[in-house]
Amino acid sequence: MELHTFTLRNNLRPRALALFETLLAYCGTGLEEPELIREDERQAVRFRARPGADVAQIRRLMESAAERARREVEAPTKVVFEVQGAQGAPPDRHAEVIGRECVAIEEGLYIFGPAFTRLMRALDQVCLGLARRLGAQEYTVPAYTTWEVLEASNYVRLFPQHLTFGHVLEHDLDAVERFATARSREEQQSMTRPSPLVMLPAACLHCYTLKRDQRIDDPLLMTVVGHCSRYEARRMTYPGRLWNFHLREIVYLGSLPGAAAFRRQIVDELSALAGQIGLPCRLESATDPFFTSARAGLAFYQHASDLKYELVGALPGGDRSLAIASLNYHQQHFSQSFNLRDGAGELLHTACLGFGLERWAYWLLSHLGDDERDWPEILRDGQAPAV
Amino acid sequence: MELHTFTLRNNLRPRALALFETLLAYCGTGLEEPELIREDERQAVRFRARPGADVAQIRRLMESAAERARREVEAPTKVVFEVQGAQGAPPDRHAEVIGRECVAIEEGLYIFGPAFTRLMRALDQVCLGLARRLGAQEYTVPAYTTWEVLEASNYVRLFPQHLTFGHVLEHDLDAVERFATARSREEQQSMTRPSPLVMLPAACLHCYTLKRDQRIDDPLLMTVVGHCSRYEARRMTYPGRLWNFHLREIVYLGSLPGAAAFRRQIVDELSALAGQIGLPCRLESATDPFFTSARAGLAFYQHASDLKYELVGALPGGDRSLAIASLNYHQQHFSQSFNLRDGAGELLHTACLGFGLERWAYWLLSHLGDDERDWPEILRDGQAPAV
């Protein structure tokens, strides 16, 4: 494959450059191995194109990505707390364990082994303990939501790149027979049709759906584990970025001061938890992956209004990190979408805390390995008692 | 809507009639409210057709369903054990609790409440306890599998009616923008394309995928919870038949005598568990939902070879029942599909036990209500200890 170079018109500042790098994943299916380089002090992308790919179109998309990145507001990241932890660890510290415990079966799809599973289970016990201390009740939710819910919440227009849509066969004996005897996968794929279902991209959507159009007199706390899906195309290069993952959420529905108090309490809890675990991480301001042309305004507003924080764990070696939890204040966005009101008819304020369970397990396993004796005390109870 | 009647050419025997009734769900999208009746001693279906529906086509599909049903082998159901339990309960015993704890958000999709969730959690502890006693290790699996795995295992041709296929947007900034600014859902749906992923229809598929092409010297026991999807069209009329559900599986990979011993042990365990719970249920022979024209041979073979048993729980009132667990011996089907061999190069034998966690919870809640003091001892520990 021929090597190409795309040179940016103007150099981007650090935050904009990071966004540009993310957006490279959305610069066409023909793009291969894009790599950020410097040429004569100017930022550039060196890339390959698949045979038959439209290189001019790839360049046009890169120009468009640079344009979006250029409008990114260069506000400083706010750090709420930081744990230094084991900074000097080599990056491949437990590479053998990771290889054994995280087996890829497809882009972004892994089967995780017994030690990984014990860590997830232990961590979810910690989350559930926190949820119960806060007074949350637990619900069971499907791995799908509906087009209608995603439209009502505007998710479908804000984050369309994440969505995985559920298609099915016509429920008809003839169609079933034709499908079963078709000659190729392509022929079979042409027989499916859209259903009302979309894979769940965020667990808390189910909480608002359940309480839709209801008067909620007293503040409400709910907790769920959503088996969530976010398609991230070519960004899904390692077990820290999955197409499908378990998201434990604790959701608050109530007043403005209640939402603020919830957030303060969660910050304290996260800080205590991070301290007990003692690995390098920090709670910092963040923005959502808005990738449409509406991004600049939305991300700026989110940052300026202090709406989103992420607990970011550094991986061994310190070069890479991943968001393992996020704390979000939605103001009245979801209560408007789902008509959630208090006894006086006022729109509620909502907030949520989400733990990406596989990401936690990956972060912990990368630092600590699979010998339970090396794990922090609070995570050693993964082997729940057999009944 | 006009009322129509379809009269069967010959009356069907009980098992065939039950299959015919199931297949009515696959007699065209225009079919509404089909109801089995008797007219002058002859079996018939009274139905309505949606405006504009092709009634002749519906009749043709019903003829085809009757034809498939007619070939059903009328072998007697083999009952392994039976628990009588509370036979005299009224059907609507805990209707209010069920209404509160099972909230539909779409056909076959529910959000389940705190009592339901506690029952699921307690039951999964029981399953996990059993899995560990047997020596199984636990793995974490995604809610998807791949086209390739479903092709290798022949699932795609045997049960195409169940499948939900994952479609995504082109990962391209232009496509994301067009989607976000499209005028209608139909326009958006036309922009998605097939991905390599299909929603997981059975959890054990991941176990064979993980061990694919490996030599397995000693018999292996694995356990997983799959967040499984089976689309059942208009059969999804109540919370006992879901599009998406948690399936706890214990999977055996080993020798022929080992698979037989696994099955004997599971029968003993299920019998003990059913006795402790004390509600009406029985373990009986069953067949898989083969709905293509290949059904007759496959179902006969499955029944004659004793390959499938289901634990069927009766709902209060005794008229309705649902399969809450299934015990399957696959012979060498999956080891052929995935090239699973022992140290001597012989194909393995596999077997699995699956618990439908939502179905258990629905069955239990329907009989027992949401007051934990009325639940059997072994299910009272749903509130796992907070860490």
A25 touches chain B (CB under 8 A): yes
Q: Are B341 and B216 a contacting pair, CB within 8 Å?
A: yes
Under an 8 A CB cutoff, do B167 and A170 touch? no
The distance of B88 to chain A (nearest Cα, Å) reads: 30
Q: Does residue A117 sit at the B interface (CB-CB below 8 Å)?
A: yes
Contact between chains at A132 and B29 (C-beta distance less than 8 A) = no
B229 at interface of A, judged by CB pairs closer than 8 A: yes
Amino acid at B376: P
A353 CB burial (10 A radius; 0-12, 13-18, 19+): buried
The pLDDT value recorded for residue A297 is 82
Of the partner residues B165, B177, B209, the one whose CB lies closest to the CB of residue A293: B177
Alpha-carbon dihedral sign for residues A69, A70, A73, A77: positive
Q: Which residue of B has its CA nearest to A184?
A: B151
pLDDT band for position B385 (50/70/90)?
very low
Instruction: Identify the residue among A31, A58, A133, A172 best suited for mutation to test binding to B, counting B beta carbons within 10 A and taking the highest.
Output: A172
How far lies B315's CA from each of A82, A307, B93, B108, B233, in Å? 54, 48, 10, 19, 22
Query: Contact A243/A223 with Cβ under 8 angstroms?
Result: no
Average model confidence (pLDDT) for chain B?
Answer: 93
pLDDT at residue number B386: 34
Which residue in the set A111, A137, A384 is minimally distant from B384, CB to CB? A384
Share of chain B above pLDDT 90, in %: 82
Nearest CA in chain B to A22: B173
Q: What average pLDDT score do residues B190-198 get?
A: 97
Model pLDDT, residue B319: 84
Alpha helix locations (H) across chain B?
A: 14-23, 55-70, 95-101, 114-134, 147-152, 155-158, 173-180, 185-189, 205-211, 256-277, 295-304, 333-338, 357-368
| Cβ distance of A180 and B160 shorter than 8 Å | yes
Size of interface A-B (CB pairs under 8 A): 267
Report the length, in residues, of chain B: 387
Interface check for A127 against chain B (CB to CB < 8 A): the answer is: no
Q: Could you tell me the two tokens for A207?
A: 């909480």
| CATH code matching the domain that covers A79-163+201-379, chosen among 3.20.20.70, 3.20.20.140, 1.10.10.10, 3.30.930.10 | 3.30.930.10
Q: Can you tell me the distance from the alpha carbon of B247 to that of B249, in angstroms, rounded to the nearest whole number?
A: 6
CB contact under 8 A, A384 and B128: yes
**Is residue B262 predicted with pLDDT exceeding 50?**
yes
Option in B139, B149, B229 nearest A117 (CB): B139
| DSSP structure class, residue B92 | T
For position B190, what pLDDT does the model report? 95
Provide the pLDDT for residue B142: 98
> 3-state secondary structure string, A125-143?
HHHHHHHHHHCCEECECCC
In one letter, which amino acid is B72? E
- Compute, in degrees rounded to 10, the torsion defined by CA atoms B40, B42, B45, B48: -30
Residue B341, SS3?
strand
Q: How far apart are CA A62 and CA B190, in angstroms?
A: 25
Is the separation of the CB atoms in B98 and B366 below 8 Å? Answer: yes
Residue A29 has what pLDDT? 85
Q: Which of residues 147-166 of A touch B (CB under 8 A)?
A: 147, 149, 151, 156-158, 160-161, 163-166
Predicted ipTM > 0.90: yes
pLDDT at B89 over 90: no
- pLDDT tier, B387 (very low <50, low <70, confident <90, very high otherwise): very low
- The answer to whether B210 contacts chain A (CB < 8 Å) is yes
> Each residue of B26-67: pLDDT tens digit?
998 899 999 999 988 999 999 999 999 999 999 999 999 999
Mean per-residue pLDDT pooled into runs of 10, chain A (387 residues): 91 92 91 92 95 94 93 88 84 92 97 97 95 97 98 94 96 91 95 97 98 96 98 91 98 98 98 96 92 82 88 92 96 97 97 98 96 92 45
Q: Give the pLDDT score at A387.
A: 31
Angstrom distance (rounded) from CA B50 to CA B65: 20
Alpha helices in chain A (DSSP H): 14-23, 55-70, 95-101, 114-134, 147-152, 155-158, 173-180, 185-189, 205-211, 256-277, 295-304, 333-338, 357-368
Partners of residue A244 in chain B, C-beta under 8 Å:
142-144
CB B48 within 8 A of CB B83: no
- Whether A272 has its CB under 8 Å from any CB of chain B: the answer is no
Q: CA A283 to CA A286: how far, in whole Å?
A: 9
CA–CA dist A374, B310 (Å, integer): 43
Banded model confidence at residue B87, pLDDT cuts 50, 70, 90: low
> Which H helix or E strand runs over B226?
strand B220-229
pLDDT of residue A65: 94
Q: What secondary structure does DSSP assign to A240-253, as a single string?
A: TS-SEEEEEEEEEE
Is the pLDDT confidence value at B210 over 70?
yes
Are the beta carbons of A311 and A324 closer than 8 angstroms?
Answer: yes
Give me the pLDDT at residue B288, please: 87
User: Does the CB of A71 have a partner CB in chain B at under 8 Å?
Assistant: no
Q: What residue segments make up the domains of chain B, in order of their start?
A: 3-70, 79-163+201-379, 166-195
pLDDT (tens digit per residue) in B16-30: 999 999 999 999 889
Chain B residues with CB under 8 Å of A132 CB are 386
pLDDT at site B182: 95
pLDDT in tens, B213-225: 999 999 999 999 9
* Mean pLDDT of the region B66-78: 88
Architecture of domain B3-70 in this structure: 2-Layer Sandwich (3.30)
Instruction: Say whether B55 sits in a helix, a strand or coil.
Output: helix
B176 is written with which tokens?
């994301």
